[in-house]
């Protein structure tokens, strides 16, 4: 038997075995069981802990505030190792940098750096991303004030807010990002199942 036929035969046997394992014993029905007998429903507290999204309009921003000066200290301790001392060096993505005249060359030049100051359309997205995903070794571990401080620092480094500005749930959605008008919001209604 050739190797190709042997592989095909093994694949066919494997597919039949999987189909038989998924079918209830003695039944040819393709209905799935109501439950698999594992897991449990999430508690309201577990759901609330994960339901932390922040909209472009600021809906979902928590209480708290931050400044660039406070954020600089946190950035040096928690972020500089991945994004560089000033946010430009890496080794991971550059966070700081504006394109002259706030041009938006990304369709013409895919190599253009997609920094917070050149590409991100909403300041609230910066907060949301840091809060959910950073630092990569302990995502979600930063307190809300730390996230506000880091957001203020990064916005100030990109010359989007004054160095002495205070960001909070009221001021952050008002920050005008250079790329805001380059993106169109998804206005489709949620599809119901």
- Domain extent listing, the chain: 52-182
**Could you report the per-residue pLDDT of 147-175, keeping only the tens digit for each?**
999 999 999 999 999 999 999 999 999 99
Cα separations (Å) of 147 from 5, 112, 137, 184? 58, 27, 16, 26
**Could you report the per-residue pLDDT of 38-79, keeping only the tens digit for each?**
999 999 999 988 888 999 999 999 999 999 999 999 999 999
Query: What architecture is domain 52-182?
Result: Orthogonal Bundle (1.10)
SS3 call for 167: strand
Tokens of 120: 């991100």
Query: What is the spatial distance between Cα 66 and Cα 151, in angstroms, rounded to a whole number?
Result: 8
SS3 call for 120: coil
Cα separations (Å) of 129 from 112, 156, 191? 21, 17, 25
Q: What is the pTM of this model?
A: 0.76
């Amino acid at each position: 038997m050739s190797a190709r036929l042997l592989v095909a035969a093994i694949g066919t046997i494997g597919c039949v075995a999987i189909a038989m394992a998924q079918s209830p014993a003695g039944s040819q029905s393709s209905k799935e069981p109501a439950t698999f007998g594992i897991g449990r429903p999430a508690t309201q507290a577990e759901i609330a802990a994960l339901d932390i999204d922040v909209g472009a309009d600021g809906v979902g921003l928590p209480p708290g505030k931050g400044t660039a000066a406070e954020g600089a200290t946190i950035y040096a301790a928690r972020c500089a190792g991945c994004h560089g001392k000033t946010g430009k060096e890496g080794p991971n993505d550059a966070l700081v940098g504006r394109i002259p005249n706030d041009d938006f060359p990304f369709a013409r030049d895919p190599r253009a750096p997609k920094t917070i100051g050149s590409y991100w359309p909403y300041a609230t997205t910066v907060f949301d991303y840091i809060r959910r995903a950073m630092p990569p070794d302990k995502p979600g571990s930063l307190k809300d004030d730390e996230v506000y401080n880091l957001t203020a620092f990064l916005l100030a480094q990109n010359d989007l807010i004054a160095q002495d500005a205070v960001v909070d749930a009221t001021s952050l959605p008002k920050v005008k990002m250079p790329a805001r008008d380059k993106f169109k919001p998804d206005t489709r209604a949620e599809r119901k199942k």
